[in-house]
Structure 1
């Protein structure tokens, strides 16, 4: 996968938590031994805070790490310090959203569900601009083009030598919601079809028709399940609502959303039938 400082920092925190638990120390006891604070240690373990060389060395000493283990942590800390493209947009997005961009950049696969909009990674420029403008007071009109720019940069993960694997389940409602107007929606639908045709091994779009029976995710907001290479990094859940964003790794919540996604996928048409319906609507729109 492409190098992501956010993912490197997250893995560093996970490894530190593993080492702490192996020593039998609580976060409070570890902080005291390393002359740090418990909120700081927990923030580092959760990937929300970065750690300096001096503080990393103090924790390594408290955990009695081997030279090999310590060297691995130093390597991750170095990767976490690299500058990322999303850092240039810090004034536009909250911390959770910026961390999501970092996790998305380093993910191996994403499963997305949305009942009303095309997922951001598959939006055309005109469709995305209309979505962003429609966000109302959440985004200033003066910032629309910069927010759009960040969204288009995110889409680069669908290309390159090791592209992201994306499975997007959307409801038939997205074919009717004329975001940006009739012509913009028509172009967006043609773009969806082209994405699947050009990237059949990495992009899959599945449509839940209006004729489908009820399912758990119906009526709820969109969500994204991120998966990472290797067994060490767990899956993550990303949600956005009108007023809040959340990035979760709680196993119980993840299982619930995993089940909800699978149920939506069961209600969806096949890839072939989904594309047929998408092309049909695009043709009708002109």
Structure 2
């Protein structure tokens, strides 16, 4: 079990889930180490994501912890292995770690549901629209920082264009469609991109129009990232201090309900496309 000096979000989540299984079984880390033939420090390092662990060992842990949830165990086993480099690793010296973790999370997601009020979803943004947003970041970014963030964002969009694209549902408030970031030409191109992307079979775009009497969202962007099994879902929130990741059972339930209500408040995909067309004509 070689040490991992910089555990990825995926490695940390695997370790955290193994800790949950141990705690649910009522075993202390010392007791678990004795049953597994390991040292207590090894258990701690595995649970913190600092040590890699094999799929067979995950299954052994699960048996020791009396976990009979076979789909969960196999999903955890699929998260194992040594430190595997993804394209996002080339940005580790240039971008906040939250953005690196987000790219990895999206890459392995089984489904993505996002809900936004002010902004167009990052995975549906044009290059010019994204550049306009990065130029408005405070404190201001240097030009090279803007370019790093821009190329990273465009590469994130690759999950929607690969051979087996990730199912993607975006619920967007009408306010986001009318913000006009970058000026008229940029805004028009962005709305046309939304229409084009919404016509792909794996992408659903729905708009919450002005005038809805009830609305359950806030100005905070929500990404609901589905894992291989529901227990491995993750919520990512956009905040002023960066990405925030939540995976507690109560937190997942809360934000799943918020996204459900926002989708229920939105127009159908067809009516949403019609509204986007109408807004484009108003520019």
1:28–1:37 CA contact under 8 A, matched in 2: no
Partner of 1:135: 137
Partner of 1:25: 27
CA change 1:12–1:249 in 2 (3 A) is closer
Count residues with an aligned counterpart. Answer: 267
Give the superposition deviation at 1:134: 1.2
Partner of 1:170: 172
Match for residue 41 of structure 2 among 36, 42, 46: 36
CA change 1:94–1:27 in 2 (3 A) is farther
Match for residue 249 of structure 1 among 247, 250, 254: 247
Q: Distance in 1 between matches of 2:177 and 2:141?
A: 25
Could you say what the CA RMSD is over the residues aligned between the two structures, in angstroms?
3.5
Give the superposition deviation at 1:259: 1.0
Summarize deviations over 1:222-268 as a string: whole Å, max 9, x none. Answer: 11100123x37521100111124211101111111111111111111
CA change 1:34–1:112 in 2 (3 A) is same
Summarize deviations over 1:103-130 as a string: whole Å, max 9, x none. Answer: 1101011110110010100000000111
2:30–2:39 CA contact under 8 A, matched in 1: no
The unaligned stretches of length 5 or more in structure 2 are 1-6, 66-74
The unaligned stretches of length 5 or more in structure 1 are 44-48, 66-71
1:27–1:41 CA contact under 8 A, matched in 2: no
1:93 maps to 2:92? no
CA change 1:81–1:182 in 2 (3 A) is same
Q: Distance in 2 between matches of 1:268 and 1:74?
A: 38
CA change 1:23–1:153 in 2 (3 A) is same
3-state SS of 2:118 partner: coil
